[in-house]
Amino acid sequence: MLFRKNSDINIINVARSEDENIIVCHLSVKNLNIVVGSIYGPNNFAPEFFHSLRTILNQFPNMPVILGGDWNATFSCDPLPFNNDCFNMTTVPNIRHSNFISSICQDFFLTDPFRFLHPNKLDFSYISKRFDRRTRSRIDYFLCSNSLLPSLLECSIAQVPQSLLFDHCAIFLNFGPPTVPSTRNFRIYESTLKYDCADLLIFSTVAESYLIHALPGSIPVPQQLHLLSLCGQIKVGIRNAGINPSCLYSVSPLPDDMIVRENRLNTLSEIKERIDFDYILSLELNTTQHTFMEVLLNNLRNELFSLQQFIKISQKKDLNLLYTQLSNEKSNAPLNLNRIEELESIILRFNDDLAHAELMHFKDFELINSEKLTPTFLKLFRSRNKESKLSDIQRNIDQPFLNSLDQTNFIVDYFSKIYKRNENEIPLAENCIEEFLGHDISNSQLVLDSKLSQDEIDFLSAPLDPSEFRKAVNDCSIKTAAGTDGLG
């Protein structure tokens, strides 16, 4: 590992494996503690290598981690031909090591930044000199903590090796100032859970999580790899089946296309039937129940969110296509008026459906649902500032409060002045209401029946009970603007 001499980096501690194929440094970079490691993975099956890596990582708990190097195994555990990290290969290189890597990523909350930025990109770091340089794979890559992803700018692979002597391409990882975190909670839409492939995705994710964390010896390795391969086929098959046409608006699906998609989903259901789910659930785990539950929930959330993004991207492309068609039709509006009206109606309905699907997951759904929704309004609401706090109240910029008691006295005094009776106010004269209404109206039965009895006057004149105040506040409507008292 090399560090620039004039860089603002302090090496606090170094841990390494006995063969020094793992070197991990605890660094201080501009007051940030971070763990950076260099990896050279074994070519042959060597579970002890990953045991050593786990032992070293456990020495640096609760710290962001970046690991990089030649792992001699792909990040993807998918079988061929569905593995995007292989090209023109007959087998996935060292698939058992890929499973070890996947398990470490789940337990230490790491991910491949290249795949985070480029989920389906085909790019390779290793070019075999055999077979006329046609066999390629991506076995050189970084792993980084999920907490670092907001600061991730780019992760890439050099176009060619740096020398004729090399068969590996350099890999690059760049970070920058973190983006402002969203105030929204991470949500899976109800429509995603109702998507026709969601049950297959959940099934394969749960089964895969159990298989990866199965205690060595609790299941024969060939059977474990076979079942993992079936789970991978289901996940890849869901994407290959394409988007459900009911999620799109631009074109009506052709019957033949619907039949092809239905056949693909039937094939995935048949693969699911070949997986003994009860047997998988009975496997002994290599970690605690608590840790496994955290990993399982994280895996389900990531897979479902990925599916949700796949649906949203497909819908966005479909919407852009509709806008393009509308623009083309408007080039000759007089002749295409019927088609223009049809496209405008489809786009409006499309935008409305997308907005309401997202709207339902805001905590203030009842409030904003009463507004006239537009994509612009939803964007503004989504990016609104966080709620105000009591500490935001200040006397003025130049005179901050001395302490919380000073602030409290200021607030009480402020509202006391608002509701204090004006000293120059002329008090109401006795019987002024009767004089204003006149004798006939004041003595009408309607007015007489509207007058308060003495018991009612005594009740309303009694001191305010705290329980009454709490009830009044809880009964305030959240759909109305606040009054001068700050309440609805």
Q: What's the rounded Cα separation, in Å, for the pair 34 and 20?
A: 20
Q: pLDDT band for position 376 (50/70/90)?
A: low
Helix or strand (DSSP H, E) at 39: strand 32-40
Tell whether omega for the bond before 81 is within 30 degrees of 0, i.e. cis. Answer: yes
Cα–Cα distance for residue pair 88/73, rounded to 1 Å: 16
Q: Is the pTM of this model over 0.85?
A: no
Q: How far apart are CA 78 and CA 75, in angstroms?
A: 9
Give the range among 54-63, 154-163, 211-220, 251-260 with minimum mean pLDDT: 251-260
- Residue 439 one-letter amino acid: H
Instruction: Say if CB 37 and CB 3 are below 8 A apart.
Output: no
pLDDT at 332: 84
Closest CA to 36 of 58, 57, 8, 7: 57
Report residue 68 as tokens: 């990089």
Residue 338 confidence (pLDDT): 86
| Residue 166 to residues 68, 128, 170, 334, Cα–Cα distance (Å) | 18, 10, 10, 64
Q: Are 58 and 7 spatial neighbours (Cβ–Cβ below 8 Å)?
A: no
Which tens digits make up the pLDDT trace of 46-90? 999 999 999 999 999 889 999 999 999 999 988 888 888 998 888
Give the whole-angstrom CA distance, residue 343 versus residue 318: 12
Is pLDDT larger for residue 173 or for residue 396?
Answer: 173
Q: Which residues does residue 112 pair with via DSSP β-bridges, in sequence order?
A: none
Length of the chain: 488
Alpha carbon 321 to its chain centroid, in Å, reads: 26
Residue 265 CA to residue 237 CA, distance in Å, equals 8
Structural class in CATH, domain 9-175: alpha beta
pLDDT confidence of residue 133: 58
Does 189 have pLDDT greater than 90? no
Give strand pairing partners of 14.
25
Distances (CA, A) of 272 to 7, 104, 191, 238, 305: 53, 26, 23, 12, 21
From residue 483, alpha-carbon distances to 242, 279, 369, 414, 478 in Å are 52, 63, 22, 15, 12
Give the residue among 270, 292, 266 at the shortest CA–CA distance from 281. 292
Say whether pLDDT at 269 is over 90: yes
Token pair in block for residue 378: 């939803």
Greater model confidence, 362 or 471: 471
pLDDT score for 183: 46
Q: Are the beta carbons of 450 and 443 closer than 8 angstroms? A: no
pLDDT in tens, 283-311: 998 888 888 888 898 889 889 988 888 88
- Choice among 34-38, 283-287, 461-465 with the minimum mean pLDDT: 461-465
CA distance 428 to 369: 45
State phi, psi for 474 to the nearest 5 degrees. Answer: -65, -25
More confident site: 132 or 130:
130
Alpha-carbon span 211 to 228, nearest angstrom:
7
* Distance, CA of 60 to CA of 36 (rounded, Å): 11
Beta bridge partners of 136: 87, 127
How many Å apart are CA 160 and CA 171, to the nearest integer?
A: 11
List all residues 6 or more positions away from 345 whose beta carbon is below 8 Å from its beta carbon: none
State the amino acid at position 339 in one-letter form. R
Distance separating alpha carbons of residues 305 and 315, to the nearest angstrom: 15
Q: Rounded distance, CA 177 to CA 153, Å? A: 9
